[in-house]
Structure 1
Amino acid sequence: MNSAQYDVIIVGGSYAGLQAALTLGRSQRQVLVIESGMPCNRFTPHSHNFLTHDGKEPHIIAAEGREQLKNYSNVKFLKDTVLQALQFDENFEITTIFENRITARKLLFATGISDIMPDIKGFEECWGKSVIHCPYCHGYEVKGQITGVFGNAENGFEYVKTVSHWAGKVTLFTNGPSLLNTEQAQKLAANNIAVIETPVTEVTHAQGQISGVVLSDGITADLSVLYAHTAFKQHCDIPQTLGCEMADTGHIKTNGYGKTNVNGLYVAGDCCDPLRSVSSAVRGGMAAAAFLNKELINEDF
């Protein structure tokens, strides 16, 4: 008989982790959710494009999820931070910052990513409010406004092309010499999208609401919204230390349903999914939990 305290430990108690806990709780698994209280979208005042929750504050959605999970006595919560995870025999053992040592048959990391802000004054203060990353999450609320896109090369071209569907006047800020090819530059010009290569030194704003960007030559470009894809790192590096393969994008590789190359270790949410939305995180949590539960069934049958 397996001596693990839990069937599954879920590291991360935001949307992917909560949905995974719900799926596993309903699958009659003994589950522990360890959460540190630092969700990726904590800077965003409202969540959009999630059916039945459109426009809600993100922390309200998470609170409703935790409340519903109280109906499942086999799902427990622990406010803590995981420091280490070891794999031995058929189990995992995790150690936390408060010196808890807990074992489980499987681990599911839903720990998200940490954005790395560019060294531009005012950028971080506007992040998630008026400096945003996703038109599907926020584009409707800023449709038709004076819009900037922070990007370059192929990714910048595709980004500004997509954003232009929602935006009014659009400008691409390459933050240095343009790496667009001739065809891309001509295409933007044909669609009245200006390209500014002068580096951005400041985002001007009032309480996180952008009013423009200041360029290194002193000129200010007026804006109502700025789209930007920031660099990021994994919020938790424990999956990597356990041997998880990483994609070139910086995400954890999976089979498409949360299973990693490390036996018994699953992931869900922003740590492995570039779509980066609440609805996508919920889908990932459900899929990973279902595949994980099937693995447990196969082992026990």
Structure 2
Amino acid sequence: MREPQFDTIIIGGSYAGLSAALSLGRLSKQVMIIDAGNPCNQTAPKSYNFLTQNGNIPKKILEVARQQVLAYTGVNFRNDQVIKLQGTDGDFEVFTKAGHSFSAKKVLFATGVRDILPRISGYSNCWGISIVHCPYCHGYEFSGKTAAIYAVGESARQLVNLLSPMHPNLTLIGRNGDQDFEFGDKVKMINQEISSIHHLNGQLSAVTFDNGNRLDIEVLYTDPNFEQHSDLPEAIGLKMTDKNLIYIGSNQQTSIAGIYACGDCTSLMRSIASAVASGNLAGAIINKALSEAYMTEVAGDKTSCLDK
């Protein structure tokens, strides 16, 4: 059997993937990161709730992270997209859109997710700027502003509970009138569909409803649907959760031996801090698996020599 080119191929080179590569690189492993260059938070002007980087620009955080990780001689980076993966634990091969192929002992998915935004005029212009999904990442900066929530069910309930202390004038906008909770006087309820978003360079000023009414607001919190950024996990038969996330065990291992996953593609807790932590853990676990396999191989070689 041929020797794989790399110890690990990391599919996805944003915060989780780079964090995993850092753990692997520091243990002198040979790593190839393959990244398509579409991080989910690319529209956000600033990132918060991440120690030492609070308020920094996501793109700059990523640039510094990549520079630091690639300083390790064993870590390689390629701008490309993996379109096919085959093989078994210890001998995987990936094929890219640009026509390249690489082999590795282990594979790590750090491919993230893609938000599915509603087709509302002006919505995508404000996404990540004044239409946001994470109160922990952006809520404090909008504290005291006129705010609305565009969500239903349990998501609506959780957002109301989190945001009410920061927004005395809070409105809950129902989709098709579908709201299962009563919030009393602390929240104004509107059961209308949003037809358009009014903004200036992404800064929200108002929303207009199907009935023509207008609501002046400065921030809209929402809980959009999402999909896996890569269709490869499902294509190779990885087990998925009921939330359409890659299923992993406590050791970041997927349902296929030798294939691991970390970051947003595995978790509803989507933040840079969480992605970095998840990647760091995945890198350490893969390191452990590689080291144990190496020692087993060495022990086997010694036994073979003694038997001769």
- Class of the TM-score when normalised by the shorter of the 2 chains: over 0.9
Give the superposition deviation at 1:242: 1.8
Q: 2:299: which partner in 1?
A: none
Q: Secondary structure at the match of 2:10?
A: strand
- Structure 1 residues 209 and 242: CA distance shift in structure 2, 3 A: same
Distance 1:104 1:165 in 2: 50
> For residue 221 of structure 2, what is the aligned residue in structure 1?
227
Q: Distance in 1 between matches of 2:33 and 2:166?
A: 38
Deviation at 1:2, TM superposition (A): 6.2
Q: Report the CA distance between 1:116 and its aligned residue.
A: 0.7
Give distance in 2, aligned partners of 1:256 and 1:133. Answer: 27
- Larger CA Rg, structure 1 vs 2: 2
Alignment of 1:278-289 (within 5 A): 278-289=272-283
Equivalence for 2:184: 189
1:173-212 aligned at under 5 Å gives the runs 173-180=173-180, 184-185=181-182, 188-190=183-185, 192-212=186-206
Q: Any runs of at least 4 consecutive aligned residues in structure 1 with deviations exceeding 6 A, and if so which?
A: none
**Is this contact kept in 2: 1:143–1:168, CA < 8 A?**
no
Structure 1 regions of 5+ residues with no counterpart? none
CA RMSD of aligned residues (A): 1.3
For residue 16 of structure 2, what is the aligned residue in structure 1?
16
The 8 Å contact of residues 120 and 203 in structure 1, kept in 2 or not, is answered as yes
The code of the aligned residue for 2:22 comes to L
Does 2:139 correspond to 1:144? no
CA distance in 1, matches of 2:222, 2:251: 28
Q: C-alpha displacement at 1:145, in angstroms? A: 0.7
1:297 paired residue number: 291
**Distance in 2 (alpha carbons) for counterparts of 1:218 and 1:256:** 50
- Amino acid across the alignment from 1:104: A
After TM superposition, the structure 1 = structure 2 runs for residues 61-210 of structure 1, keeping only pairs within 5 Å, are 61-88=61-88, 90-180=90-180, 184-185=181-182, 188-190=183-185, 192-210=186-204
Q: Give the AA of the match of 2:256.
A: V
Aligned to 2:266: 272
- Distance in 2, matches of 1:70 and 1:297, equals 22
Q: Which stretches in structure 2 are left out of the alignment for 5+ residues?
A: 296-308
Q: How many residues of Structure 1 are paired with residues of Structure 2 in the alignment?
A: 295
Distance 1:130 1:235 in 2: 23
Q: Secondary structure of the equivalent of 1:226?
A: strand
Tell whether the 8 Å contact from 2:228 to 2:244 is kept in structure 1 after alignment.
yes
Query: Does the alignment pair 1:249 with 2:254?
Result: no
